């Protein structure tokens, strides 16, 4: 990629970001379409978010991806929110519009496209269990409801956060029944017993190395759930994509279930973000190939 004095900036902010494949796929896309834009990843701890946003605005960045832990707090620095971002209550994409920032949530569409790609069928009528109650989990729950899932059960270690999530979504997605449970709640087992889909929207297992303390702790936390009650056909989907085979996926495969990581979601939410930044369709095949050839994938 050739940089110039006119090169425009897009970036990722989060904490951590060293595992991210977003720079790989976006820079490949910009280069393929001959766009004078570069994409960088910035590790921004929560205490530095305000300073980072002020700096990126001053530098004239034209687009931004937002990941853990800033998807909700970044709303305080945005001039306008798109409809999905308002409904989800979280932002994962910012685009420059005039002098200000508009916040979007491309996770909603990105998750649905990625999931239906691996399922090779519609989600309509399915029962899903979502682990977590943060910004990513909210986007997944909205996506499932829009796609016609019959029931979405949200399980979170803090049960009150799960309840806040489902109470906020139920009036907007009346065709889907939403339920909330604490991680250690006995009734979780009933939701798991009828689950067609089990989705990990927590950070558990992110960047964990097999055999490490973090890996073991992730396995033990997931095993506190009544996973033995899952039907044989339940599909596991982990929003995490690094490592390529996550602790969550390891549990799935050990019990004979099919499992997928979040690389597809990263790709498709990124493609939607690319369109918002450039007003051009994303070269998805090039982005997919770039991620596949990256040694960290």
Cβ-in-10-Å burial (0-12, 13-18, 19+) of 190 comes to: middle
Give the pLDDT of residue 296.
45
Report whether the peptide linkage leading into residue 243 is cis, meaning its omega lies within 30 degrees of zero.
Answer: yes
pTM score: 0.93
Query: Both 122 and 239 in a single domain?
Result: yes
Give the pLDDT of residue 39.
99
**71 flagged as catalytic:** yes
Give the pLDDT of residue 295.
54
Domain tally, the chain: 2
In angstroms, the CA 51 to CA 103 distance is 18
pLDDT tens digits along 9-67: 999 999 999 999 999 999 999 999 999 999 999 999 999 999 999 999 999 999 999 99
Position 2 in a domain: no
Structural domain harbouring 113? 108-261
In angstroms, the CA 91 to CA 84 distance is 9
Residue 57: CATH number of its domain: 3.40.50.10860
Query: Both 113 and 172 in a single domain?
Result: yes
Q: Which of 2, 6, 71, 163 is catalytic?
A: 71
Query: Both 148 and 248 in a single domain?
Result: yes
Kindly give the parts of the chain with pLDDT less than 70: 295-297
């Amino acid at each position: 990629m050739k940089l110039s004095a006119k090169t425009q900036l897009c970036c990722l902010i989060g904490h951590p970001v060293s595992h991210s494949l977003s720079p790989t796929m976006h820079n490949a896309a910009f280069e393929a379409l001959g766009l004078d834009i570069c994409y960088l990843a910035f590790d921004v701890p929560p205490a530095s978010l305000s300073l980072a946003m002020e700096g990126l605005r001053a530098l004239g960045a034209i687009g931004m991806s937002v990941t853990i832990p800033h998807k909700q707090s970044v709303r305080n620095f945005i001039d306008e929110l798109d409809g999905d971002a308002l409904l989800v209550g979280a932002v994962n994409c910012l685009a420059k519009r005039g002098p200000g920032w508009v916040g979007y949530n491309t996770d909603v569409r990105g998750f649905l496209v990625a999931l239906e790609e691996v399922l090779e069928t519609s989600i309509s009528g399915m029962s899903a269990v979502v682990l977590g109650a943060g910004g990513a989990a909210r986007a997944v729950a909205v996506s499932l409801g829009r796609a016609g899932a019959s029931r979405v059960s949200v399980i979170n270690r803090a049960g009150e956060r799960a309840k806040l999530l489902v109470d906020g979504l139920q009036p907007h997605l009346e065709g889907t029944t939403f339920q909330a449970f604490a991680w250690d709640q006995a009734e979780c087992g009933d939701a798991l017993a009828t689950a067609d889909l089990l989705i990990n929207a927590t950070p558990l297992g992110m960047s964990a190395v097999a055999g490490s303390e973090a890996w073991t702790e992730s396995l033990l936390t997931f095993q506190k759930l009544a996973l033995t009650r899952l039907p044989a056909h339940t599909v596991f989907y982990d929003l995490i994509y690094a490592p390529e085979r996550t602790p969550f996926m390891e549990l799935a495969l050990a019990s004979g279930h099919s499992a997928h990581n979040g690389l597809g979601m990263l790709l498709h939410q990124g493609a939607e973000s690319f369109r918002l930044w450039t007003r051009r369709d994303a070269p998805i095949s090039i982005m997919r190939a770039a991620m596949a050839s990256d040694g960290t994938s």
